[in-house]
Structure 1
Amino acid sequence: MAKSVVVTGASRGIGAATALLAARRGFEVCVNYNSHAEEAEAIVARISAEDGRAIAVQADAGREDELVAMFARCDRELAPLGGLVNNAGFLGGESDIEDFDAGAMRRLWDVNVVAYFVCAREAVRRMSTRRGGSGGAIVNVSSMSADNGGIGPRVHYATTNGARRTFTFGLAKQSGPKGIRVNGVMPGVIDTHFNDGFDNEGRNARLGAQIPIGRVGTGQDVAETIVWLLSDEAAFVSGAVIPVNGAFF
């Protein structure tokens, strides 16, 4: 029986790599995006070219109504839901605590944390064996900043990743009896568009030399772990948050 997976923030980076790999592993894929429509459609085209099934759905992670509408569209156009990858988020810039802006922080938490709860709610309602679903898996993407607090000017972003990590542990306990496994990944230094506004190339060169494996990570590195966690090969893995960091802490 075919199953679908919703991947939020899937137009670029880790999300795009995950969407492509999930399709290759047999999932029908909802490629969620907010503002990068062309890139999202390109991912759908690549999946279609490989005989997969995917749709691109615009939804702002900070808008509950748009997220709910996204899941409703997936109900209409894709196979029954079997997985969710909570990946969408944003950095929220860099700032010192003396310049803290409460309004900006609320937007950051809406996108990086509240949206994870909303998407998980919608996914559990569909996948729960107690509601007639066939079970499934959720993977929450966090960051190693959840453990180390990140660099100083990004402590606001790091706190959202700490919340994502905690959410993974708690949701795994709550959802296991409903036939749903919940896990997370904590990427380290990954070469994506996430740091385009902060000298991404210089950052990669500077930090890559400090990583024991000898390089920065790629979206594909993270996607391989995510899609494994979605698969039946990880059938007894739940409540785990796996570092994908090349042993760089």
Structure 2
Amino acid sequence: MIFERDFYRRCGVATDKVLLVTGGGRGIGAATARLAAQGGWAVAVNYAANSLAADEVVRAIRAGGGTAISVQADVADEAQVLKMFAHVDSKLGRLTGLVNNAGVVDRAQPVAEQSVARWRRMFDINVIGSMICAREAVRRMGTAHGGAGGSIVNLSSAAARLGSPNEYVDYAAAKAAIDAFTIGLAKEVAPQGIRVNAVRPGLIDTEIHASGGRPNRVEELKAGVPMGRGGTADEVAQLIVWLLSDAASYTTMSLIDVSGAR
């Protein structure tokens, strides 16, 4: 493992920039992993089940001269998350960046038709999973733990302020929790050199809509976006990677919309 890190250094890889992107095999996560690698980050691409998608992102990064590994974990399972972080430690070194991107939606339903099982899944993955990963990142980045600081970017959603009535009120509530978590954690760890921000995408053209049973949702709703179109994963990734970077050195506790004014 020491040899592997030394090899990366000899090849000019900035291993002091080590990033974990949860749910990094698709959509915004994949776009972020690719763009961050172009900026010199060594990237760990997390996936829960789709290893092929994550491995394809890793291959693309390596083909471009970057450093990347794929790593499996269901972020809602603490034991799996601990194993994932240990793997990243051993392969890439001490973490300095985390993008909490892993998340789920469900079928569009009014609250009266939703089940407790659905709510538990929604919060276990979207909220508790992000909190577990953030905790482990703080334990590596924080100066109180021997780290040199770092940056955490949480994926929230414009749904947190829109509420998503008759569709995804539970998802909106989970993302509102992410907003509150971002604010509190940012204040808590700022003295340890860690910045914590959240990005709130609006109507973005990714695979997540198909997983909720509405693959054409962006096309159906784009007329309600003042800019007249849905956004792209790459447009969201640009903001995430900026927040990870030193260019955003005085930016923390921010909730930033990427929504075309929706």
**TM band (smaller chain):** over 0.9
Amino acid at match of 1:48: R
**Paired position in structure 1 for 2:198:** 184
In structure 1, C-alpha distance between the alignment counterparts of 2:231 and 2:160, rounded to whole Å: 18
**Paired position in structure 2 for 1:44:** 58
- Number of equivalenced pairs: 247
In structure 2, C-alpha distance between the alignment counterparts of 1:35 and 1:68, rounded to whole Å: 17
In structure 2, C-alpha distance between the alignment counterparts of 1:214 and 1:94, rounded to whole Å: 23
**Superposition pairs for residues 17-166 of structure 1, below 5 Å?**
17-166=31-180
Check whether the contact 1:128–1:179 (CA below 8 A) recurs between aligned residues.
yes
1:200 aligns with 2:204: no
Check whether the contact 1:28–1:79 (CA below 8 A) recurs between aligned residues.
no
TM-score by length of 2: 0.91
Q: Deviations over 1:26-80 (max 9, x none)?
A: 1100100112111100000000001111111111122111111100000000032
TM-score by length of 1: 0.96
Match of 1:183, SS? Answer: strand
Deviation at residue 82 of structure 1 after TM alignment: 0.8
Q: Deviations over 1:193-216 (max 9, x none)?
A: 001143322x22232233222321
1:245 aligns with 2:221: no
Distance 1:205 1:100, change over 3 A: closer
- Aligned partner (choices 227, 233, 242) of residue 219 of structure 1: 233
**Paired position in structure 2 for 1:16:** 30
Flag structure 1 segments of 5+ consecutive residues without an equivalent.
none
Match of 1:214, SS? Answer: coil
* CA RMSD in angstroms, aligned pairs only: 1.2
In structure 2, C-alpha distance between the alignment counterparts of 1:216 and 1:105, rounded to whole Å: 27
Flag structure 2 segments of 5+ consecutive residues without an equivalent.
1-13
In structure 2, C-alpha distance between the alignment counterparts of 1:175 and 1:15, rounded to whole Å: 24
Q: Deviations over 1:120-172 (max 9, x none)?
A: 01000000012110100000001001011113231111100000011100000
Match of 2:98, SS? Answer: strand
Runs of 4+ in structure 1 off by over 6 angstroms are none
Check whether the contact 2:24–2:30 (CA below 8 A) recurs between aligned residues.
yes
Amino acid at match of 1:200: P
Check whether the contact 1:138–1:180 (CA below 8 A) recurs between aligned residues.
yes
